[in-house]
Structure 1
Amino acid sequence: MRSLSALLLLALSPAALAINLNAPLNPDPVRTPGDVLTSDPRVVCVSGYTRTVRNVPQALKEQVYRSYGITSRQSGEYEIDHLISLELGGSNSVRNLWPESYKTTPLNAHVKDTLENKLHALACSGKITLQQAQQAIASNWQAAYVQYVGPLPGGVTPPPAPKPGQTSGAATVPVLPTTTPPSPPVAATTPVPAPTAANVAPSGGACPASAPIKGNIGSNGKIYHLPQGDPNYRRTHAEACFTTPAAAQSAGFRAAR
């Protein structure tokens, strides 16, 4: 009886869970069309930018797993990936998140990481616009890999993608919102200027996409509000605008609770 119980416990342990080698290689365009926080290279091309905006709570990750029908997984099997990566101006919205496997071959999360780094380098050197990079990776990351990096590992052929606004089966290719006018290319020899703490003034209580974080001074002190995940963001009247949480903190503002 004890040996039977031990076998049952072993069978139900995380180590005994089978790796899903048929995990989706592309996000569902309906669940995950992509979402951007900024399209300004002066913001995303600053070293350390992604550390200031990365914020995906575990509860939100579990919601994403459930929406994709993933009820069990091994440790390290998946990452909750940003379709449009943070280094390309992507947001932490559920519309930009999907479970991507590290274990599938020859395509997996590591392969997409290579594309993200390449697009970031191209956008920050002015060879393509940041909006071009965002649209390419959101529409068909495998096709973007072939275009900007080279042949896919294992000789994989990327799936065809419908034109923006058209459908392929039940999926619609996203047309990303335009948060800022297309930025002019930055010369490859010209470094991207780092933003200062509060060099952007609000207009009518609103902040521009280049500095979307709202700073407000009230009875509770100096508080900053993020455009993603803050229910009070829209109704907050900005008295200062910041490019990153670190910039707001250096000006004496604290995060909203």
Structure 2
Amino acid sequence: MRLAFVLAAIFITACGPSDPESTLSARPTGEDRYPLFPEESMTPGTTCKNPSEYRYPERIPYCTRSVSSSLKNKIIKTYDNTFDYTIGSMPRNDFKIDHYIPLCMGGSNDVANLWPQHKSVYIYTDDLEQRLCLYMERGRMKQVDAIYYIKLVKNNLDEAERVQVEIETTYGHL
């Protein structure tokens, strides 16, 4: 028993404390390594100006998805260089190049509407995007309101749950 205690003490001393709180401060946070929301100066959001079609009862201009790999890489490099993130050194499959204003809401493929979104962010926003577009498709929500809500949540992840309740209260369940 005493030997096990001694070995455990040696292990803890060699490897550091096991308390996650004490090791977190040594790790970079998401805010240090990647954006938690679009950087307004680079990604203010833009809507489709050259639509391939019009959608929904409101006749929203719709742009077909068209973002090349080279543009995606350029966006990552620009975010890294401009805002001192380290996205380029992280696993690429942890990110997607997100349309700040989603295409289904009339967003564009313009660089001013694209940003590198980490998977820890899009787990909050992807479902909401689809739901908002369904409201638009069914004529229950206007484009301006859908864009307002998606921008609100993409910039304030802690508001996601409250916003979903507000949407269901205001526009009904799908």
Which bracket does the TM-score occupy, shorter chain normalised?
0.5 to 0.7
Distance 1:20 1:75 in 2: 18
CA contact (8 A) 2:43 2:112 kept: yes
Pairing partner for 2:118 from 89, 101, 104: 101
**What secondary structure sits across from 2:135 in the alignment?**
helix
The alignment status of 1:118 with 2:135, answered yes or no, reads no
Alignment of 1:58-207 (within 5 A): 58-69=69-80, 70-102=87-119, 104=120, 108-141=121-154, 142=156, 145-150=160-165
Aligned residue for 1:44?
A: 55
CA deviations on 1:197-230 (whole Å, 9 max, x unpaired) are xxxxxxxxxxxxxxxxxxxxxxxxxxxxxxxxxx
Change (3 A) 1:145 1:119: farther
CA deviations on 1:40-70 (whole Å, 9 max, x unpaired) are 9x82349xxxx97011011111111012103
Match of 2:130, as an amino acid? Answer: N
Pairwise CA distance, 1:150: 3.7
CA deviations on 1:112-166 (whole Å, 9 max, x unpaired) are 1011011111122222201221233235534773454249xxxxxxxxxxxxxxx
Match of 1:109, as an amino acid? Answer: Y
Distance 1:78 1:19 in 2: 17
Pairing partner for 2:64 from 53, 60, 73: 53
CA-atom RMSD in angstroms: 3.1
Match of 1:79, as an amino acid? Answer: K
Alignment of 1:202-221 (within 5 A): none
Change (3 A) 1:150 1:67: farther
**What secondary structure sits across from 1:37 in the alignment?**
coil
Distance 2:163 2:54 in 1: 22
Pairing partner for 2:38 from 19, 27, 34: 27
Number of aligned residues: 124
CA contact (8 A) 2:43 2:100 kept: yes
**What secondary structure sits across from 1:43 in the alignment?**
strand
Distance 1:44 1:109 in 2: 24
| Gap runs ≥5 in structure 2 | 1-26, 81-86, 167-174
Distance 1:44 1:82 in 2: 18
TM-score, normalisation: structure 2: 0.60
Q: Which has the higher helix share?
A: 2
Match of 1:92, as an amino acid? Answer: N
TM-score, normalisation: structure 1: 0.42
Q: Which has the higher contact order (CA 8 A, sep 6+)?
A: 2
Identity of aligned residues (%): 27
**What secondary structure sits across from 1:68 in the alignment?**
helix
Match of 2:109, as an amino acid? Answer: N
